[in-house]
Structure 1
Amino acid sequence: MKSGRFWAWVVFALGAAYFFIPLIATVEFSMRMRRGAYSFDAYQIVLGDERFQATFMYSVVAAIFTIILGVLIVVPAAYWIRLRLPQI
């Protein structure tokens, strides 16, 4: 039983490393705009760009409308299935 638990932790550690190592590397790479120093210069440039702000706001609005549309479809469908078709 102990060896099964050990291998479960090994698989968990490998999965976590598979997820977190590229994530950490991406953040670290994005903060090295200036050679040899970490800074948020790249983020300031990108977030200050008006085209990025417009595109980001479009994405936020599209996401909000998608959530609202999903709720408007799922809630009545779940209500109808639960109350009108209880035999299913």
Structure 2
Amino acid sequence: MEKLGDLSRKAAAAIDDSDCRRLLSAVDGYGADLFSESGHLKWARAEMPGAHFLRLQILRKLDAFHARLLQLQFERTRNAAARLAANMRPDRRSSG
């Protein structure tokens, strides 16, 4: 548990995005219940034990975190490409 919490806190500190921080905070919370002596019991479902449910929730949040990182990367790349394209356009004022 200590390693999961440590990694999620470090990742949250490394990125300036509220959605990412929210997702990683949920991972930390689910991890605390998963690795506690009895915290996982409250998450039990008729179809699966609480520990399995928590693992699934952690994987879902990590998958959403990964998707958000990809979205942020795409937005930055798109913005950089737009700036580059704007800088490459000939300046109409200087051409005549």
Coarse TM-score class (shorter-chain normalised):
0.3 to 0.5
Structure ID, larger Rg: 1
Question: What TM-score do the two structures reach when normalised by structure 2?
Answer: 0.38
